[in-house]
Amino acid sequence: MVADRLEAAVGARGTASLVLAGGSTPRGSYGLLARAPLPWRQIHLYFGDERCVPPGHEESNYRMARETLIDPAGVPAESVHRIEAERDPEEAAAAYARDIVARLGPRPAFDVVLLGMGADGHTASLFPGSSVLDERSRLVAAARVAKLPTPRVTLTLPAFEGARAVLFLVTGADKAPALARALAGRADPGTPASCIRSGGEVVWLVDAAAASALGETTP
C-alpha cells in the first residue's frame, strides 16, 4: 500500500515524499517497508512531529525511524528531513517549515502521510484542545502540552490538506473509544485525529481491538 504509492509517485514525478508517524505502532510497518525494493534516493522522508529531545534520545521519533527504516533501507541522509527538535522549539518549527517549502512549496502535496493516534485522539502532536489546532497558515508549530514532559514540534492541519494519501495506523483496545469518535464524521477538536482533512484519500488501518467500539453504522 505505502510502497506502491511511493513507487507510483517516483514513476510519475521522479520523486516522492513520505511523512513518517512517531510513537511505537509504526515500528513493524517500517521494518517491512525497509525491505521493499524502493528507489530510496528519490523518496524524501519527513516527520509528522518530533519530541524536543536530541536525535539519539530514546523518545526521539527520528531515532525510531532511523533504527527501523532509514538505516536498514539505506535511505541517504540528503533524503531525510529531520525536525531539529533539540533546538528551541519555535526555531526548530520555523526551520522545518522552510525545509518543507523549499522542496514542496507553501502548500505541500505529500505523497503519503502516515499518522498514528493516541488513546486521547491526538495525532502527530496535535492534542485535544490545543491552540495549534487553530493554526491555519503556518505548516509547522511548536506544541506545549501540560501532561507531556517535553515540548513537541508538529505539522499543523494545513500541512496535511494537500496530501495525496493519509494513512492512519491504529491498534489496541485502549484506542477504541477515540477511534469511534474520530470516525463519527465530524471534526472535533477534542479528538484531533478527526480534524485531519486532505485532498486525497484518508485510509484507516486498524486492528480488531481498536475497531471494537465501532458501531454498525460507522463507515
Q: How far apart are CA 138 and CA 98, in angstroms?
A: 10
CB under 6 A: which stretch of 38-46, 112-120, 140-148, 202-210 binds ligand 6PG?
112-120
Of 108, 116, 121, 200, which one interacts with ligand 6PG (CB under 6 A)?
A: 116
User: How far out from the chain centre does Cα 156 lie?
Assistant: 10
User: Quick one: which segment of 1-9, 18-26, 63-71, 138-146 binds ligand 6PG (CB under 6 A)?
Assistant: 18-26
Residues of span 124-183 touching ligand 6PG by CB under 6 A: 124-125
- CA–CA dist 85, 90 (Å, integer): 9
Do β-strands 152-155 and 140-143 pair in parallel, antiparallel, or remain unpaired?
Answer: antiparallel
- Which residue, judged by CB position, is nearest to ligand 6PG in the bound state? 116
Identity of the residue, 10 or 192, whose beta carbon is nearer to ligand 6PG in the bound complex = 192
Site for ligand 6PG in 190-219 (CB under 6 A): none
The least CB distance from residue 159 to ligand 6PG, in Å, is: 13
Helix locations, the chain, DSSP H: 2-13, 27-34, 61-65, 71-73, 89-104, 157-160, 176-182
Environment class of 163 (CB within 10 Å of its CB; exposed 0-12, middle 13-18, buried 19+): buried
Q: Is 11 exposed, middle or buried (0-12, 13-18, 19+ CB in 10 A)?
A: exposed
Q: How far is CA 88 from the centre of its chain?
A: 21
Binding residues with ligand 6PG: total (CB under 6 A) = 15
Choices 8-16, 35-43, 116-124, 131-139 (CB under 6 A): range interacting with ligand 6PG: 116-124
**Shortest Å, Cβ 57 to ligand 6PG:** 12
Q: Which of 6, 9, 16, 25 binds ligand 6PG (CB under 6 A)?
A: 25
**CB within 8 Å of 152: residues ≥ 6 apart:** 49, 50, 51, 52, 85, 89, 125, 142, 143, 144, 145
Which residue, 81 or 122, is less far from ligand 6PG as judged by CB? 122
> What is the grid cell recorded at 109?
502535496
Closest CA to 151 of 100, 97, 91: 91
Q: Does 61 bind ligand 6PG (CB under 6 A)?
A: yes
CB of 35 vs ligand 6PG, minimal distance in Å: 21
| Residues engaged in binding ligand 6PG (CB under 6 A) | 21-25, 48-49, 61, 116-118, 122-125
